[in-house]
Structure 1
């Protein structure tokens, strides 16, 4: 039995993304509508995801485009306010992701009581956001310093819009990440949010680290969920739950229900 059963309540769990609108300090923040509007839209999406039957939810500043790798304080403060205001509405386990800053994600988890964090914890990348470096030793020490040692760490080992600087295959990355860092899960992604995760890639990762939870991190949808979940231990899902399956839209509860009905069928 994996930790997912204990923390989320089921194996083959579906972690749904609650994408927050642009926040103060972000280029596309709507100053006229302000933070109250951001909170209300997050509430709307959260209810749609929960009513649709997802197993867990993860809050992320998905619309803070273009992303920073050293996130500003105002972003974390805004996210903490949103989650704080939604606390009485949250009925399922939740996690957080402050894109793309592992330490700030942990700070937010510690402040809100999140059960898990997804981030790029390891590696050096050439990316759309410049050269992207990490310091996992410092990040994990920070986790313990702030009392967040029980927060589960979901290591994204195929960052979207980025490529490992060293020429390493996915198997050796997965193996050494698990050996050196003891992640709670490895996330395997497509190129961007909503892009399908390559099933062969998933399979390679799961085969070399059979005892580690492996999640399909992008692009799981009705048409491929059986294939993806037959390999992966669960999925992180966002775009497919939105109206017309479009990244920029809000969550459509009908799409969520249809997807989760098929997942429940698959699990049984």
Structure 2
């Protein structure tokens, strides 16, 4: 489940208090834990407008390491935690995960290239996994977006989603993420089926999953939910514990039904 951190130091909407960023993150983490979630993914989605990884300042990595470490200590060890650094800060994410004791990262721009709203993003797999090895962080899993949302993919229009997934698998991705076209937009269930058939790594759904459409994605190995858990289903709002609990109850019921079928 996605834990969206407040605006970081150095970004346009930073409020001037790292302590408040930390307190808010811990408060949201507690809400998720009491709602019986299965995992936590922290990200800096509020740091709009995003910059490419080469323009990310060390303050982002520093603050996110602090916050992720505190959340990791708060969340039971049985619940995996991860991080995504926008935009395309995959090496930064590995460093944060390694320092904070996280189990995974969400990476974008892993294979092939695309044009996102923050600019051109090139593939990072080779450099990223070499960096992971240099840090001794091979225990940090790398889950990778394919045909990333909020992006144009005209330059790879001759490469299907399934081919992109196979390329990510060939380049040692620990799992691929299928999304809709934007945050909160549902992924196409038929694309999920095709990708599941086309590769052997875990396939995750990374946008648009709700309590109402959860059954469309039960064949996924995991779902990443953020927007649906906010008040009124708006990503910028606070976490709505009731929405989280309703979703998790439905998830557990679906799992029970699947195990008994």
Q: Give TM-score, length-normalised by structure 1.
A: 0.89
Could you tell me which residue of structure 2 aligns to residue 9 of structure 1?
Answer: none
Could you tell me which residue of structure 2 aligns to residue 25 of structure 1?
Answer: 10
Q: Secondary structure at the match of 2:156?
A: coil
Where relative contact order (Cα < 8 A, 6+ residues apart) is larger, the structure is 1
Q: Displacement of 1:162 after TM fit? A: 1.0
CA distance in 2, matches of 1:39, 1:218: 25
Where do residues 173-184 of structure 1 align in structure 2 (5 Å cutoff)? Answer: 173-179=164-170, 181-184=171-174
Q: Displacement of 1:85 after TM fit? A: 3.1
Could you tell me which residue of structure 2 aligns to residue 143 of structure 1?
Answer: 132
CA distance in 2, matches of 1:177, 1:247: 28
Where do residues 136-215 of structure 1 align in structure 2 (5 Å cutoff)? Answer: 136-164=125-153, 165-167=155-157, 168-179=159-170, 181-209=171-199, 211-215=200-204
Post-superposition CA distance 1:205-229 (Å, at most 9, x none):
11111x2100010010011001112
CA distance in 1, matches of 2:73, 2:145: 29
State which drifts further: 170-179 or 255-264. Answer: 170-179
Q: Displacement of 1:69 after TM fit? A: 2.0
Q: Give TM-score, length-normalised by structure 2.
A: 0.91
Q: Secondary structure at the match of 2:137?
A: coil
1:219 and 2:187 matched: no
Structure 1, unmatched stretches of 5+, are 1-15
Could you tell me which residue of structure 2 aligns to residue 3 of structure 1?
Answer: none
Count of residues in correspondence between the two structures: 248
CA distance in 1, matches of 2:72, 2:128: 26
CA distance in 2, matches of 1:85, 1:199: 36
CA distance in 1, matches of 2:105, 2:172: 14
1:110 and 2:95 matched: no
1:42 and 2:33 matched: no
Structure 2, unmatched stretches of 5+, are 257-261
Where do residues 125-140 of structure 1 align in structure 2 (5 Å cutoff)? Answer: 125-140=114-129
Where do residues 208-247 of structure 1 align in structure 2 (5 Å cutoff)? Answer: 208-209=198-199, 211-229=200-218, 231-247=219-235
1:259 and 2:259 matched: no
Could you tell me which residue of structure 1 aligns to residue 44 of structure 2?
Answer: 61
CA distance in 1, matches of 2:57, 2:111: 21
Could you tell me which residue of structure 2 aligns to residue 73 of structure 1?
Answer: 58
CA distance in 1, matches of 2:222, 2:178: 11
CA distance in 2, matches of 1:49, 1:142: 31
CA distance in 2, matches of 1:117, 1:214: 14
CA distance in 2, matches of 1:198, 1:234: 15
State which drifts further: 77-86 or 55-64. Answer: 77-86
